[in-house]
Amino acid sequence: MPFILGALALLGAAYFWYSRMRGAADMAGELMEAAGDVRAAARRFGYKLRRKEHPVDGVEEPVVAAAGIAEAFISLDDLPTRGQRTGILQGLQKAYRVDLNGAEEAAVLGRWLVGQCGAPDAAISRIVKKLHSLGGQGALQPLLTVLDTAAGAEGGSLGPRQQEALAEISRRFGV
């Protein structure tokens, strides 16, 4: 009898560990799928991650920089809503004349860039600097179109941190 109970306990423990490992494998698969989306977006925009360089420094397309700034902007004061994310896509389509697929891929890459910066404040500061170096003064108006569309997507008003971010953007562009 003790052998049967020991065998059942061993089978129960094996099943428990098997189910935990399977859950971890499923989660790893989802992470790899998300990483695949970022890789596909990077390929579309010719983004190259260089060694010993911050990921933002590899951005060469203003639409990607604007998407990153917009993603960071909507997450400054509160969690982003679906309407705000849709507003980003619409703003990118209108300001940069890209199709919906291109806007979605720019947003995916922009969201990844924000994650690489660590915090939305740091992301805005760093990506705005990069956008200014890419497009100069002419890059401000399309960016403001995207931010306006994203912020006004659900009739919301700007929070205090978002207002500070707009002031920093204006300062960076010398407005």
Q: What is the pLDDT of residues 131-141, one digit of tens each?
A: 989 888 888 89
- pLDDT at 135 (0 to 100): 85
55 vs 11, which has greater pLDDT? Answer: 55
Angstrom distance (rounded) from CA 134 to CA 148? 21
Identify whether 43 is part of a domain.
yes
* Contact predicate 123/47, CB 8 Å: no
- What is the pLDDT at residue 97? 93
Residue 21 lies in a domain: no
Q: Is the pLDDT of residue 125 over 50?
A: yes
> According to the model, what pLDDT value does residue 165 have?
87
pLDDT of residue 32: 46
- Token pair belonging to 99: 């199709």
pTM of the model: 0.75
pLDDT at 123: 92
For residue 11, being part of any structural domain is answered with no
pLDDT digits (tens, 9 = 90+) for 41-83: 777 777 777 788 888 888 889 999 999 999 999 888 777 888 8
Domain-located, residue 22: no
Residue 5 lies in a domain: no
Confidence of residue 25 (pLDDT cuts 50, 70, 90): low
pLDDT attached to residue 26? 54
Residue 155 is predicted with a pLDDT of 67
Question: What's the whole-number average pLDDT of the chain?
Answer: 82
pLDDT score of 83: 86
Which residues, in sequence order, are CB contacts of 89 under 8 Å at separation 6+?
Answer: 100, 103, 104, 107
85-98: per-residue pLDDT in tens? 899 999 999 999 99
- Does residue 18 fall inside a structural domain? no
Q: Give the domain extent around 97.
A: 27-173
pLDDT of residue 30: 45
How many domains does one find in the chain?
A: 1
Handedness of CA 56, 62, 63, 69 (dihedral sign): positive
Compute CA distances 62 → 24, 27, 75, 82, 115, whole Å.
37, 33, 20, 23, 18
Inside any domain, residue 44: yes
Quick one: how far is CA 137 from the chain centroid?
24
11-15, 107-111, 113-117: which has the minimum mean pLDDT? 11-15
Residue 173 tokens read as 């562009």
Judge whether 49 lies within some domain: yes
